[in-house]
């Protein structure tokens, strides 16, 4: 028996992943004239929520409880330099807090990108913001930071600096193809991944200073045990997660 050949058409349906979280933190002062910070950094940490970090977060909490720290959120700069709520903690305890968070970051599946402006070459605040927006566009529009495979992209930012808040909203409102929603009333203490973004921001700032030929501060030297130890034990761990 002969007849027309039967053609089977197979359609492959690519299912989008549910949610990508984007945690944002900044380091530095936007003012061009502020002498305390040469660099302004905005860090974006991305985490695919299909990979749960709940058990890792619980383990981190247990480890911090075991050294007598409870209900205290991680803040890298003050931990290193003994500022704010960490002022009266000894070196050993602060190191334990720091390296437990670093171990958590090492095991969590995330990526990050840092937008960096050297204010030495910026004329004013508007120039700084423009540079940040240009770098963000290069990341997103160049698909190094790919948001298209997710049903929702949820941005977490504590609105610490209004120009950064405005930048994020303006940028994503111009890109209707990216399904972005902004988390409301973000409290840093509630989100381990914002604390990871803070860690990344702080380490990027230290590495930028080193790239400019500056040495570690006395407190950083003591905390990390020198430049070689910092690069090998700390910076190398975080750089593996960088979006390149």
List the Cα angle 130/136/139 in 5-degree steps: 145
Instruction: Return the H-helix or E-strand segment holding 113.
Output: strand 111-118
Please give the pLDDT value at position 12.
Answer: 45
Torsion, CA 165, CA 207, CA 193, CA 79, rounded to 10: -100
Please give the pLDDT value at position 6.
Answer: 55
Q: Which residues of 45-58 are buried (b: 16+ CB within 10 A; e: fewer)?
A: bbbeeeeebeebee
pTM of the model: 0.90
Please give the pLDDT value at position 31.
Answer: 82
Please give the pLDDT value at position 178.
Answer: 93
Structure tokens at 162: 């209004």
Please give the pLDDT value at position 67.
Answer: 82
Please give the pLDDT value at position 68.
Answer: 76
- 180-182 vs 150-156, strand pairing mode: parallel
- pLDDT per 10-residue tile (average), the chain, 244 residues: 51 69 94 82 96 95 85 89 92 94 97 96 93 96 88 93 95 94 88 96 96 92 95 96 91
Cβ–Cβ < 8 Å for 113, 39: no
Cβ–Cβ < 8 Å for 113, 139: yes
Please give the pLDDT value at position 184.
Answer: 87
* Alpha-carbon gap, residue 88 to 92, rounded angstroms: 12
The closest alpha carbon to 199, from 242, 228, 238, 150, belongs to 238
The closest alpha carbon to 158, from 114, 121, 189, belongs to 189
Structure tokens at 157: 């930012």
Please give the pLDDT value at position 32.
Answer: 78
Q: At a CB cut-off of 8 Å and minimum separation 6, what does 41 contact? A: 26, 27, 28, 114, 115, 116, 117, 201, 204, 205, 208
């Amino acid at each position: 028996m002969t007849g027309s050949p039967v053609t089977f058409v197979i359609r492959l349906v690519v299912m989008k992943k549910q949610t990508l979280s984007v945690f944002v933190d900044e380091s530095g002062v936007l003012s061009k004239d502020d002498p305390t910070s040469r660099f302004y950094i905005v860090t974006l940490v991305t985490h695919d929520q299909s990979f749960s970090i709940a058990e890792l977060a619980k383990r981190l909490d247990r480890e911090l409880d075991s050294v007598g720290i409870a209900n205290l959120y991680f803040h890298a700069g003050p931990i290193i330099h003994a500022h704010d709520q960490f002022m009266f903690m000894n070196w050993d305890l602060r190191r334990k807090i720091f390296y437990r968070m670093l171990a958590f970051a090492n095991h969590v599946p995330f990526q990050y990108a840092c937008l960096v402006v050297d204010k030495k070459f910026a004329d004013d605040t508007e120039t700084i913001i423009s540079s940040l927006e240009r770098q963000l566009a290069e990341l997103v529009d160049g698909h190094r930071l790919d948001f298209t495979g997710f049903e929702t992209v949820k941005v977490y930012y504590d609105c610490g600096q209004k120009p950064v808040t405005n930048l994020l909203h303006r940028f994503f409102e111009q890109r209707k193809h990216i399904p972005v929603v902004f988390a409301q009333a973000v409290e840093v203490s509630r989100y381990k991944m914002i604390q990871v973004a803070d860690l990344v921001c702080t380490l990027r700032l230290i590495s930028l200073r080193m790239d400019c030929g500056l040495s570690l501060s006395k407190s950083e030297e003591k905390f990390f045990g020198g430049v070689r130890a910092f690069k090998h034990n700390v910076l190398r761990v975080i750089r593996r997660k960088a979006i390149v």
